[in-house]
């Protein structure tokens, strides 16, 4: 339950700090006194976005803080999941600085607004006048049925499975689209791959063939050149080797009297060996080089194929052609693997669809099982609220395929008149009738929803007299199971409260501020009398107020 509310620098509120109590609390005050300001400030605690316009003093920050008692509500796991300390009391705080920047805290730990909303909706329900319009929403009507049916956990499981089901449908559509495109390209990929595959390309093949072709093309020139080298180095006539040999002999004769002769001799001998190797190798290579027109033709034919493939595919090497060939092979294999992936996704989708349909059937059975009880309890409440001829029906129909909340749609049908035709509530209910139906539904779901606190903002709009008194009785009954805070203009309802707060404006020389105070018994009698007779309180109004409080 909400135990304390502290507001600083919000709208007309300079400073407000109020303790709240279990049971049924009433808030009254003149129009414009600031009752809606209290709700606006409290909405910040529930994660509503805010700008700097809410600041009363634009030079300092706005702070709204609420303390909730949370023990026994089963929120430990939710706090743990959001990395928050759990205690018997939870402190929610919002701060808005003059620049409009907002910060949110739970138990002094910074949190995202989404987290504040997620936990806040488990602690308090604010029912404003505009929420009567929710009664026209099929989503709200379905929610009411699910609360009464106790479908919360089952609905969470269903939504998780439905989300997975929709994801599989999306993945399957994407895979089928990709497969369709790949199939359209398959013939083109296959043709290009076959051409490259049949070419039997080898790494560095082009470079080797070009070198071999260069040698074969100049075979005669190479052969003649090497033959001349061999002849000059080691021919029968005067050759380089003979001359080196002769030089070695001449140097040897000088060894006995020339100190450097020995070194020159060794160098000449080394030169002789090298020249001999060069002459032999030149002769050997020359013998191997032969002009082969058939081989030249074969190499040219192979190179022409390589050059044409490079030109066709806009690459510059055989290695790039091999990379392209491998890429095409991967694309072709992907087409066939897509078929396997599609089959896998189809099987998974069908299994998940069966799970979703089974869960939706279980939801439907539970919804159908409580429909009649909802109708009876709402009609019973409407009877207490002065609508003896009203009829109320929960119409549940099936969708053609599973949706976000199952395979059901819910429509509340209503008539307030004897022998009236049941129609959608939005088409036949007046404002006052809508308020009474909404109160009946809130009373219905208050226990099932297990909320610790509910705030009604003038749910009594459009009613008066005896009906207002009956509304007060119902609100009082609801407060037996939860904390109820009701903003009202009706004395018949205000008199039913366990605690009565007055919202009022206070003027000073420099400003007008909104204040809130808990009324004493005598102050409460005076406030009720004022609500009954206006500013000029009569003795009869005082007596009537005292009677109401009894």
How do the pLDDT tens digits run along the chain, 550 residues long? 999 999 999 988 889 999 999 999 999 988 888 888 888 888 898 888 877 778 888 889 999 999 999 988 888 988 998 999 999 999 999 999 888 888 999 999 999 999 999 898 888 888 876 666 677 788 889 989 998 999 989 999 999 999 999 999 999 998 888 777 777 677 777 778 888 888 888 888 888 888 877 777 777 777 777 777 777 777 666 677 777 777 777 777 777 777 787 888 888 788 888 888 887 787 777 777 777 788 778 888 888 888 888 888 888 888 888 888 888 888 777 777 777 888 889 999 999 999 999 999 999 999 999 999 999 999 999 998 888 899 999 999 999 889 999 999 999 999 999 888 999 888 888 777 888 888 888 888 876 666 789 898 888 777 777 888 888 999 998 898 889 999 998 999 999 999 999 999 888 888 888 999 999 999 999 999 998 888 788 889 899 999 988 8
Residue 11 within a domain = yes
Instruction: Record the tokens describing residue 420, joined without a space.
Output: 């009236």
Judgement on whether residues 228 and 311 belong to the same structural domain of the protein: yes
Residues whose CB falls within 8 Å of the CB of residue 312, separated by 6 or more in sequence, listed in order: none
- Which of 335, 359, 388 finishes a domain? 335
Residue 12 within a domain = yes
Judgement on whether residues 107 and 218 belong to the same structural domain of the protein: no
Judgement on whether residues 229 and 108 belong to the same structural domain of the protein: no
- Which of 307, 335, 363 finishes a domain? 335
Which pLDDT score is estimated for 184?
66
Residues whose CB falls within 8 Å of the CB of residue 438, separated by 6 or more in sequence, listed in order: 127, 131, 132, 134, 135, 459
Judgement on whether residues 16 and 113 belong to the same structural domain of the protein: yes
Judgement on whether residues 218 and 316 belong to the same structural domain of the protein: yes
Residues whose CB falls within 8 Å of the CB of residue 489, separated by 6 or more in sequence, listed in order: 28, 31, 458, 460, 531
Which pLDDT score is estimated for 367?
95
Kindly report the CATH number assigned to the domain that includes residue 93. Answer: 3.40.50.300
Q: Among residues 293, 289, 277, which one has the least CA distance to residue 225?
A: 289
Judgement on whether residues 291 and 317 belong to the same structural domain of the protein: yes
Residue 544, strand partner residues: none
CA gap 104, 96 in Å, rounded: 9
DSSP 132: G
Q: How many CB atoms lie within 10 A of CB 237?
A: 7
Which pLDDT score is estimated for 431?
77
Instruction: Record the tokens describing residue 129, joined without a space.
Output: 């006048």
Residue 391 within a domain = no
User: DSSP assignment of 465-529, as one string?
Assistant: HHHHHHHHHHHHHHTTTSEEEEE-S-HHHHTT-SEEEEEEEEE-SS-EEEEEEE--HHHHHHHHH
Residue 214 within a domain = yes
CA gap 313, 339 in Å, rounded: 29
Judgement on whether residues 200 and 90 belong to the same structural domain of the protein: no
Judgement on whether residues 292 and 189 belong to the same structural domain of the protein: yes
What's the predicted TM-score (pTM) here?
A: 0.65
Residue 386 within a domain = no
Judgement on whether residues 295 and 281 belong to the same structural domain of the protein: yes
Q: How many CB atoms lie within 10 A of CB 255?
A: 13
Which single residue is written with the structure tokens 């138990």?
Answer: 107
Its domain, for residue 534, covers: 522-550
Residue 172 within a domain = no
CA angle, corner 531, sides to 530 and 532, nearest 5? 90
Judgement on whether residues 90 and 217 belong to the same structural domain of the protein: no
User: DSSP assignment of 391-460, as one string?
Assistant: EEEEEEEEEEEEETTEEEEEEEEEE-STTPPPEEHHHH--HHHHHHHHHHHHHHHHHHHT-SEEEEESTT
Residue 157 within a domain = no
Number of domains in the chain: 3
DSSP 96: E
Residues whose CB falls within 8 Å of the CB of residue 439, separated by 6 or more in sequence, listed in order: 381, 385, 456, 459, 471, 474, 475
Which pLDDT score is estimated for 149?
92
Which pLDDT score is estimated for 448?
67
The H or E element containing residue 307 is: helix 293-313
Instruction: Record the tokens describing residue 358, joined without a space.
Output: 């089974």
Judgement on whether residues 292 and 208 belong to the same structural domain of the protein: yes
Residue 275 within a domain = yes
CA gap 210, 220 in Å, rounded: 18
Judgement on whether residues 281 and 188 belong to the same structural domain of the protein: yes
Which pLDDT score is estimated for 69?
93
- Which of 283, 305, 335 finishes a domain? 335
CA gap 195, 95 in Å, rounded: 71
């Amino acid at each position: 339950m909400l135990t304390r509310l502290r507001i600083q620098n919000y709208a007309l509120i300079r400073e407000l700090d109020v303790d709240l109590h279990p049971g049924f609390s009433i808030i009254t005050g003149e129009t414009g006194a600031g009752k809606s300001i209290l709700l606006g400030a409290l909405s910040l605690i529930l994660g509503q976005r805010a700008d700097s316009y809410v600041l009363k003093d634009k030079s300092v920050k706005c702070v709204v803080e609420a303390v909730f008692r949370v023990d026994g509500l089963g929120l430990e796991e939710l706090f743990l999941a959001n990395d928050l300390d759990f205690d018997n009391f939870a402190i929610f705080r919002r701060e808005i600085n003059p620049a409009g920047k907002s910060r949110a805290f739970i138990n002094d730990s910074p949190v995202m607004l989404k987290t504040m909303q997620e936990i806040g909706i488990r602690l308090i329900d604010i029912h404003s006048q505009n929420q009567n319009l929710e009664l026209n929403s099929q989503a709200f009507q379905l929610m009411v049925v699910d609360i009464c049916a106790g479908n919360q956990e089952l609905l969470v499981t269903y939504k998780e499975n439905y989300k997975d089901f929709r994801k599989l449908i999306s993945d399957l559509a994407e895979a089928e689209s990709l497969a369709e495109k790949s199939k359209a390209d398959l013939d083109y990929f296959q043709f290009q791959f076959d051409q490259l595959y049949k070419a039997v390309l080898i790494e560095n093949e082009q470079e080797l063939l070009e070198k071999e072709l260069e040698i074969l093309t100049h075979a005669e020139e190479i052969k003649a050149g090497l033959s001349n080298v061999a002849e000059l180095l080691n021919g029968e006539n005067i050759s380089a080797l003979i001359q080196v040999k002769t030089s070695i002999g001449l140097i040897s004769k000088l060894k006995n009297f020339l100190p450097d002769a020995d070194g020159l001799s060794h160098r000449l001998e080394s030169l002789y060996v090298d020249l001999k190797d060069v002459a032999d190798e030149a002769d050997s290579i020359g013998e191997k080089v032969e002009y082969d027109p058939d081989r030249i033709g074969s190499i040219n034919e192979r190179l022409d194929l390589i050059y044409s493939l490079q030109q066709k595919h806009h690459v510059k090497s055989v290695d790039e052609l091999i990379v392209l060939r491998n890429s095409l092979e991967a694309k072709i294999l992907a087409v066939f693997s897509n078929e396997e992936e599609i089959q896998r996704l189809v099987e998974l989708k069908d299994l998940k669809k069966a799970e979703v349909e089974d869960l939706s059937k279980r939801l439907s059975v539970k919804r159908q099982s409580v429909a009649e009880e909802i109708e009876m309890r709402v009609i019973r409440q409407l009877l207490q609220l002065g609508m003896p001829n009203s009829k109320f029906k929960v119409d549940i129909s099936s969708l053609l395929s599973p949706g976000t909340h199952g395979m059901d749609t819910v429509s509340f049908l209503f008539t307030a008149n004897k022998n009236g035709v049941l129609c959608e509530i939005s088409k036949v209910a007046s404002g006052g009738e809508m308020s009474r139906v909404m109160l009946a539904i809130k009373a219905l779901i208050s226990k099932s929803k297990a909320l610790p606190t509910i705030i009604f903002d003038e749910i009594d709009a459009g009613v008066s007299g005896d009906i207002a008194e009956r509304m007060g009785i119902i609100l009082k009954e609801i407060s037996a199971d939860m904390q109820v805070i009701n903003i009202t203009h009706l004395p018949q309802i205000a008199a039913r409260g366990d605690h009565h707060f007055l919202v009022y404006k206070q003027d000073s020389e420099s400003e007008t501020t909104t204040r809130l105070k808990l009324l004493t018994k005598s102050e409460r009698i005076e406030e009720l009398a004022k609500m009954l007779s206006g500013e000029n309180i009569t003795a009869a109004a005082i007596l009537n107020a005292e009677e109401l409080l009894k």
